[in-house]
Structure 1
Amino acid sequence: MLREDYENKFTTLNQPFEIGTPNKNGRLRLREIDIKNLKTDQLYPHRQVIRFNSTFVEVMDSWEFIRGRATALALPMWAALFFAISMFLFAIYSLYFKQVYWSIAIISCLTIGLVYLVYSNYKMAKYDLFGYTHYPIRFNRKTQKVYAFSPQQQKIIELNWQDLRFSAVQEGRFDIELRASLVNEDNIVEEEIIFPFITKIYGKELVDHHLAFFKAYMQGDDLKSIDAAIPEFFDVYNRKETFKESFERVYMQFDGEEIIQQTRPAERDNGIATVAFPLFSLILLRRLGVYFSKIPQWPTHIEKECQIDSNDPYDSTGKQRHLSPLVFTSAEKLILFLGWFLGTSIFIAFLAGLAYLSWNYR
């Protein structure tokens, strides 16, 4: 996957708002959702709510589901970068005292190539390792505004709820996500927010239920039932997530049942062993991102617009609402360990093979 494709993976900015026609990045709007006729009898916030109160609800965004993958894509290129550096030094050592002109030519070409590799790999992984710990979306029911951190544009988006058009977008072959778009008079998308919940193709009705949660909050009055529909608070406001939280959030992406359910599924997908290596690799990369990234801070004017009443009965600050802990049986732990061990061994053998070939055919 190219860097440009990765950075545009979750956006259709400056492109027509078309239904049934894939855009240049392969994103397909399956249908537009009529917010006016959307029923709110089934609310599906999933496990994405950070804060909840009578003024605003703050949730994660879809970047969470690809956190660590940008760095994972960059790792092979970084390996090639270090290999090129070693060859660069070897070329200098071999040619400097023999043919100075060839040395200068090689040094110049390799320097340009190395600078480009460093820059391109930094651009690919900067949102993961040197960005924000998460990119929240905030819905203010009193001002009827929606605020969002945009990792692609490196800015904060402020939109009016009433101006948004909603659509279900197919991402890849099996995933469907919800998008809110600001469309101009020429039917071009000027701004776009990707909602945090991603469902599978067989659970496509959940996209409507997810949007119903935000419609009920922004346009309804029954905050008690809306609050009751939230299964847990992933409260990472002004703090970094713990290792336990990182593990659960990454694991959720790999379990076909847990990714679309608001509660722990009755049966666990033991096929997880086949992806144990990427699972633990992404956990490691996510932890690196959490360590090096900054906690997002809303601008002062947004915080003023989102002031919470001191006696707000629905203020989730300090409330502990979590699902039951993610517990594995001894057999499941063994399966995960074997999958991780096998994947790691293959990866190490691959690197060792490259090192052997480069040493013997240098």
Structure 2
Amino acid sequence: MEIFAYTHYPIRLNRKNRMVYAFRTDGTVIRAPWDDLFLHIGEGTVPTVGTTYDIRAHVLDEDGVTVKDTFTLAYPGFLTGKNDLPRLMRVGEYVRRYMEEPDGVKKNAEYSMLFNPVEGRREGIHWSLIRAFAPSSRYPWLQLLFSMVFSLFFLGRWLTMLTCKVPVWPEEIEEECKIEADDPYRKDASNNPKFGFLEGPWLVICVLTGLAVLAWVLVKYSPLSLLFSG
């Protein structure tokens, strides 16, 4: 459902000039002062998941009432129940602390351990594999048990990466948000920890198993095979 669009829709937070920049789905950019945003818990619907919740930001007009723009500021993955709202609030607090607390940058840097390797490029096939099987990352046996389903996620994700454009920030925003090379809190995908067996060979085993099962199901229950078996 996301092919031929953008690989992702980034958001930039600039605590120095108090601005927020967010990519729209049409490739244009929302620019809004952080202190003027109206934040609340938003509710949406994803066809394959159901009701979801996120930290949503309204960009208000000068009257303080009319909504000019809206975008999702933050959300944790696979949040579908109201019982998980405390987890959503923690993500919102992560953003708020960065923008508002004097030591917010230092605190967030200490707790930021994993970064999507998508800055200026598409995610690689290995990262697509990790993300596709992420829902059961704490339970490897479930990754194998549901390998056919996760393999479909992987194929869909990789197809999306191949057909979508990489978002590019306007030059003036790049200049406004330039990060100094000697910034002690500068972190990106190069700081990611090394992956082990469960994030590498194990996922290859799971995806090959899942694709084999998927191929068997397609052959076993294809209209042609049912016609000859009947």
1:287 to 158, 183, 191: 158
Confirm or deny: 8 A CA contact 1:231 1:323 kept in the other structure: no
SS at match of 2:76: strand
Q: Relative contact order: is structure 1 or structure 2 higher (C-alpha 8 Å, sep ≥ 6)?
A: 1
Distance 1:326 1:171 in 2: 36
1:192 aligns with 2:70: yes
Kindly tell me: are residues 244 and 344 of structure 1, through their superposed partners in 2, closer, same or farther at Cα, counting changes over 3 Å?
same
Confirm or deny: 8 A CA contact 1:232 1:323 kept in the other structure: no
Confirm or deny: 8 A CA contact 1:140 1:146 kept in the other structure: yes
1:149 aligns with 2:26: no
Alpha-carbon offset, residue 217 of structure 1: 0.8
Distance 1:339 1:203 in 2: 30
Distance 2:200 2:124 in 1: 22
Confirm or deny: 8 A CA contact 1:273 1:340 kept in the other structure: no
Confirm or deny: 8 A CA contact 1:129 1:288 kept in the other structure: yes
Alpha-carbon offset, residue 339 of structure 1: 5.0
The letter of the residue matching 2:97 is A
Confirm or deny: 8 A CA contact 1:273 1:336 kept in the other structure: no
Distance 1:283 1:329 in 2: 14
The equivalent of 2:93 in structure 1 is 212
Distance 1:288 1:294 in 2: 12
The runs of 5 or more residues in structure 1 that have no matched partner are 1-69, 71-127, 259-264, 358-362
Kindly tell me: are residues 353 and 191 of structure 1, through their superposed partners in 2, closer, same or farther at Cα, counting changes over 3 Å?
farther
1:250 to 126, 132, 150: 132
The equivalent of 1:221 in structure 2 is 102
Confirm or deny: 8 A CA contact 2:150 2:207 kept in the other structure: no
Confirm or deny: 8 A CA contact 1:168 1:177 kept in the other structure: yes
Distance 1:334 1:286 in 2: 18
The equivalent of 1:136 in structure 2 is 10
Confirm or deny: 8 A CA contact 2:37 2:60 kept in the other structure: yes
Alpha-carbon offset, residue 132 of structure 1: 2.5
Kindly tell me: are residues 130 and 175 of structure 1, through their superposed partners in 2, closer, same or farther at Cα, counting changes over 3 Å?
closer
2:149 to 271, 278, 290: 278
Confirm or deny: 8 A CA contact 1:181 1:190 kept in the other structure: yes
The structure whose Rg is larger is: 1
The equivalent of 1:158 in structure 2 is 31
Kindly tell me: are residues 181 and 351 of structure 1, through their superposed partners in 2, closer, same or farther at Cα, counting changes over 3 Å?
farther
The runs of 5 or more residues in structure 2 that have no matched partner are none
Distance 2:152 2:101 in 1: 42
2:218 to 347, 350, 353: 347
C-alpha RMSD of matched pairs (Å)? 3.4
The letter of the residue matching 1:303 is E
Confirm or deny: 8 A CA contact 2:130 2:203 kept in the other structure: no
Aligned length: 219
Distance 1:168 1:210 in 2: 12
Kindly tell me: are residues 168 and 311 of structure 1, through their superposed partners in 2, closer, same or farther at Cα, counting changes over 3 Å?
same
Distance 2:221 2:152 in 1: 16
Alpha-carbon offset, residue 314 of structure 1: 1.4
The equivalent of 1:241 in structure 2 is 123
SS at match of 1:327: helix
SS at match of 1:193: strand
